[in-house]
């Protein structure tokens, strides 16, 4: 039930997120429904990062509801400038990790209060001790579904950094490999997109999100891979572009396909809210455990030639 009374601060946060295209309508309702207000502490400090930071999850427990724990004591570190990828079956809690890092939710379970177990730190600073605005300035998200505003494509790209100029938008579009597509449209960068304008494909929308993120140039990156598979040529291209964006940034990749994670500095295999394996791709294959099993299953199941096998647990 959506309550009639919604704290103003929460509405403000929602408004910002929607303006930034970070959540879709479905999530909006999930958030409204969650009745959990994330408020800055009175003594919250500004997160100020000169370069890519170290991110630590320390014994993080989390549940959306009181009686149902989703994350059961996760600990891992993303060293400064490195990439950690999370894989695992549907419902394991992968996207929840990203939501906690972005502080859509706070660690712990409803009703648990400040003694909630676990914490997430950025260069040693607890997320709960920093302002949400400064945290969100430091993080760029390439979400599963990029929301486009009913406005020009240029406006949509400039959303990454509204004070940037058209020339910078073009450079970002070039780096995200969407410039040629835009230039070929009769109205170019002024083409209206979104629900009432030109509809873009999943891959094109992700490229817009990548261009936005390139403009924003944040030290931390979250990539929540689209659940629905793109065609394999498109997917390979997007992955190459993301590698470019992620260079020298501290990156968390939520992967739905194993092909995305091969290059990660560390892969975490998540099952029912626990890390059951961790390591690099080659080491995990050699270990012959859960990851190797998933890899083999995908290759045999989807055919050895498939470059983007789906993870078990997905339709």
In whole angstroms, the minimum distance from the beta carbon of 293 to ligand ATP comes to 17
3-state helix, strand, coil in the chain (%, to 5): 40, 20, 40
Sequence-ordered list of residues with C-beta below 8 angstroms from that of 299, at least 6 positions apart, any chain: 306, 309
Nearer to ligand ATP, 22 or 176 (CB): 22
In whole angstroms, the minimum distance from the beta carbon of 200 to ligand ATP comes to 22
Nearer to ligand ATP, 55 or 92 (CB): 92
Nearer to ligand ATP, 91 or 301 (CB): 91
**Distance from C-alpha of 91 to C-alpha of 274, rounded to nearest angstrom:** 12
In the complex, the residues that contact ligand ATP under the rule CB under 6 A are 30, 34, 64-65, 70, 88, 90-96, 227, 256
In whole angstroms, the minimum distance from the beta carbon of 187 to ligand ATP comes to 36
Nearer to ligand ATP, 145 or 204 (CB): 145
Nearer to ligand ATP, 96 or 109 (CB): 96
Nearer to ligand ATP, 29 or 198 (CB): 29
In whole angstroms, the minimum distance from the beta carbon of 224 to ligand ATP comes to 8
Burial classification of residue 279, based on how many CB atoms lie within 10 Å of its CB (0-12 exposed, 13-18 middle, 19 or more buried): middle
Write the CA distances from 302 to 50, 286, 292, 298, integer angstroms.
44, 21, 15, 5
In whole angstroms, the minimum distance from the beta carbon of 288 to ligand ATP comes to 24
**Distance from C-alpha of 295 to C-alpha of 293, rounded to nearest angstrom:** 5
Which of 101, 93, 85 is CA-nearest to residue 255? 85
Give the pair of three-digit tokens for residue 227: 């659940």
In whole angstroms, the minimum distance from the beta carbon of 21 to ligand ATP comes to 19
**Distance from C-alpha of 177 to C-alpha of 306, rounded to nearest angstrom:** 24
Cβ(207)–Cβ(276) under 8 Å? no
């Amino acid at each position: 039930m959506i309550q009639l009374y919604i704290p103003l601060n929460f509405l403000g946060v929602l408004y910002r997120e929607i303006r930034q295209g970070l959540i879709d309508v479905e999530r909006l309702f999930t958030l409204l429904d969650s009745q959990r207000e994330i408020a800055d502490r009175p003594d919250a400090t500004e997160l100020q990062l000169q370069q890519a930071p170290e991110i630590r999850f320390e014994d993080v427990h989390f549940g959306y509801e009181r009686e149902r724990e989703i994350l059961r004591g996760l600990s891992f570190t993303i060293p400064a400038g490195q990439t950690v990828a999370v894989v695992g079956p549907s419902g394991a809690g992968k996207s929840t990790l990203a939501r906690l890092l972005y502080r859509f939710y706070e660690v712990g379970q409803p009703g648990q209060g400040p003694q909630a177990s676990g914490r997430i730190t950025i260069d040693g600073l607890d997320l709960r001790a920093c302002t949400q605005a400064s945290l969100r300035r430091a993080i760029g998200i390439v979400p599963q579904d990029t929301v486009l505003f009913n406005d020009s494509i240029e406006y949509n790209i400039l959303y990454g950094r509204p004070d940037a100029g058209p020339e910078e938008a073009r450079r970002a579009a070039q780096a995200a490999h969407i410039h040629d597509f835009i230039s070929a449209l009769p109205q170019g960068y002024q083409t209206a997109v979104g629900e009432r304008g030109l509809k873009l494909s999943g891959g094109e929308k992700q490229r817009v999100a990548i261009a936005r993120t390139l403009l924003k140039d944040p030290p931390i990156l979250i990539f929540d891979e689209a659940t629905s598979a793109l065609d394999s040529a498109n997917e390979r291209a997007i992955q190459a572009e993301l590698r470019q964006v992620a260079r020298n940034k501290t990156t968390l990749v939520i992967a739905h396909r194993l092909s995305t994670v091969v290059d990660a500095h560390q892969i975490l295999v998540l099952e029912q809210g626990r890390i059951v394996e961790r390591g690099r791709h080659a080491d995990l294959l050699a270990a012959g455990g859960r990851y190797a099993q998933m890899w083999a299953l995908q290759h045999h199941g989807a055919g050895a030639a498939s470059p983007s096998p789906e993870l078990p647990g997905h339709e």
